[in-house]
């Protein structure tokens, strides 16, 4: 993992739990009752979705191996969102990659593919919004980034992300936090353009 990837993963972990800033503050916390990820989490790594990973990280924390647990969390985020790098084709657009990785970690592959396709359609593409970033989506992404520049494109991506969250059934419960996360991710992305 290079420094840019490390910083991306650390930011995603902070968005999942604002009280965690590194290994010393890493913790197990209870999920809200309305969350469908289980009962417990470590920075978005939930016992109901990834029990083996959660249990391994919790065991490291329980044993006092905080640094190893932190490295495990960083690597998990990167591994879990690695498909985004294949969509990008390279690491030359870190801001776009970061917003997509953050959304992927929070909302999954298909939803992330859809916000990407909608953002590309904002730039004149005619992509089917199916959430599957195939060859046409990837080629269009590279063309749009080359033509418009990354700073402009991430604004559209951020707006599509907010629109996605507003359309979710659980928006009344989690919406304020989701939109704050979008703003925080956009701010972080602008810092690495």
Per-residue pLDDT tens digits for 18-46: 999 999 999 999 998 878 889 999 999 99
Final residue before a domain boundary, out of 80, 108, 126: 80
CB 147 within 8 A of CB 124: no
HSE, side-chain direction, 13 A CA sphere, residue 117? 18
140 and 73 fall within a common domain: no
73 and 116 fall within a common domain: no
pLDDT of residue 1: 87
CB 115 within 8 A of CB 130: no
Average pLDDT over residues 173-183: 95
39 and 103 fall within a common domain: no
Closest CA to 46 of 61, 23, 33, 30: 30
114 and 186 fall within a common domain: yes
Average pLDDT over residues 136-163: 94
125 and 185 fall within a common domain: yes
128 and 185 fall within a common domain: yes
CB 41 within 8 A of CB 53: no
pLDDT tens digits, 52-109: 999 999 999 999 999 999 999 999 999 999 999 999 988 899 999 999 999 999 999 9
Q: What value does the mean pLDDT of the chain take?
A: 95
Helices (H), ranges, 63-169: 66-80, 83-88, 94-107, 109-122, 135-148, 150-166
pLDDT of residue 36: 81
pLDDT of residue 193: 82
97 and 50 fall within a common domain: no
For residue 31, what are the domain limits? Answer: 3-80
Q: How far is residue 23's CA from residue 158's CA, in Å, rounded to a whole number?
A: 29
56 and 117 fall within a common domain: no
51 and 108 fall within a common domain: no
Strand ordering across the sheet containing 45-46: 29-30, 40-42, 45-46
Final residue before a domain boundary, out of 45, 65, 80: 80
104 and 178 fall within a common domain: yes
Final residue before a domain boundary, out of 45, 80, 115: 80
Q: Quick one: what percent of the chain has pLDDT higher than 70?
A: 100
Instruction: Give how many domains the chain has, as a whole number.
Output: 2
pLDDT of residue 24: 96
pLDDT of residue 91: 87
105 and 128 fall within a common domain: yes
Phi, psi angles (nearest 5°) of residue 134: -80, -165
67 and 99 fall within a common domain: no
């Amino acid at each position: 993992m290079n420094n840019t990837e490390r910083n991306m993963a650390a930011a995603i972990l902070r968005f999942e739990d604002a009280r965690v800033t590194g290994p010393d503050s890493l913790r197990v916390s209870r999920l809200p009752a309305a969350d469908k990820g289980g009962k417990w989490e470590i920075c978005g790594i939930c016992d109901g979705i990834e029990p083996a990973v959660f249990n391994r990280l919790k065991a490291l924390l329980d044993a006092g191996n905080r640094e190893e647990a932190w490295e495990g969390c960083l690597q998990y985020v990167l591994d879990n969102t690695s498909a985004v790098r294949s969509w990008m084709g390279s690491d030359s657009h870190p801001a776009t990659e970061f917003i997509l990785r953050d959304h992927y970690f929070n909302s999954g592959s298909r939803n992330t593919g859809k916000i990407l396709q909608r953002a590309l359609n904002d730039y004149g593409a005619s992509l089917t919004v199916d959430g599957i970033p195939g060859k046409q989506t990837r080629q269009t992404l590279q063309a749009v980034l080359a033509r418009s520049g990354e700073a402009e494109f991430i604004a559209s991506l951020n707006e599509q992300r907010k629109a996605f969250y507003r359309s979710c059934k659980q928006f009344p419960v989690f919406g304020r936090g989701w939109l704050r996360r979008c703003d925080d991710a956009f701010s972080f992305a602008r810092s690495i353009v």
